[in-house]
Amino acid sequence: MEKLRHGSVRNNNIQKEASIDLIYTNLWPLPPLGFRNKALICPRCGNGAIGSYDHHCSECGAYLYQECTDPSCDYSPDSNARYCSRCGQVTTFFRDKYLMSWEEEAELYIADHSKSM
Ligand SMILES: [Zn+2]
Ligand SMILES: [Zn+2]
């Protein structure tokens, strides 16, 4: 049963490439990103008092920039990206666990959808 369900999620994931949005976005709202891909609201604790020169949240210490973790890559990933779509390295938001892994989210997605079936 588990295998079958996982298979169907994979198929959805493949379809996504041809069209629209990511399936595994995130369960909580992700912050809008401003200048140089910096979160305007803390992605971890939701603190909205982010100063223009802050690199970290003053409440929880979270790193505020959504970046590719490869220092030689200057791509700016989307707020919900777990991996850099240019070079494949993890993003800072995923590294710092502001985003759950897609596997974890897939399980929740399946749990959620099987309830309504
Ligand atoms: Zn914070
Ligand atoms: Zn990259």
Residues lining ion ligand 1 (Cβ < 5 A) are 42, 44-45, 47, 57, 59-60, 62
Q: Whose structure tokens read 């030689």?
A: 72
Proximal ligand: closest to the CA of 60 = 1
pLDDT for 13:
42
One domain, residues 105 and 92: no
pLDDT per position as a tens digit, 72-105: 999 999 998 999 999 999 999 999 998 888 888 8
pLDDT for 12:
42
One domain, residues 38 and 61: yes
pLDDT for 87:
98
| pLDDT, greater one: 102 or 8 | 102
One domain, residues 1 and 50: no
One domain, residues 63 and 111: no
Proximal ligand: closest to the CA of 98 = 1
Domain extent for 57: 28-99
One domain, residues 38 and 84: yes
One domain, residues 54 and 110: no
Residues lining ion ligand 2 (Cβ < 5 A) are 68, 70, 73, 75, 84, 86-87
One domain, residues 40 and 54: yes
How far does CA 109 lie from the centroid of its chain? 15
Answering whether pTM is above 0.75, one says no
Q: How many domains does the chain have?
A: 2
